[in-house]
Amino acid sequence: KMGGFFRMLGKRKELIPLVGFMTLAATGATSASLYFLCTKPDVIVNKTSNPEPWERLDPSKPQKFITINQEWKPVEELELVKKLTK
């Protein structure tokens, strides 16, 4: 079956860039998904063991690829609510 695919690409050479871009896009999407799954703490795989992962995030650590001029200050009202609910 794969031999037929490569034979078709040999006959229709204008499809080679399309196949190349589609392969690159699929590889990039897969690698980005695996990167976020393995490195980001707010991505949930098993929700039963950790239903609220955002509670464990360090707010002083940026969660984006690029963060420009980030200054984090705790909101007093939110901190008060957190203390009252625990």
Taking alpha carbons only, the member of 22, 19, 46, 43 closest to residue 33 is 43
Average pLDDT, the chain: 81
Written as one letter, the residue type at 25 is A
Sequence-ordered list of residues with C-beta below 8 angstroms from that of 16, at least 6 positions apart, any chain = 9
Say what percent of the chain tops pLDDT 90: 21
What would the pLDDT profile of 23-59 be if each residue is shown by its tens digit? 999 999 999 999 888 887 767 777 677 677 677 777 6
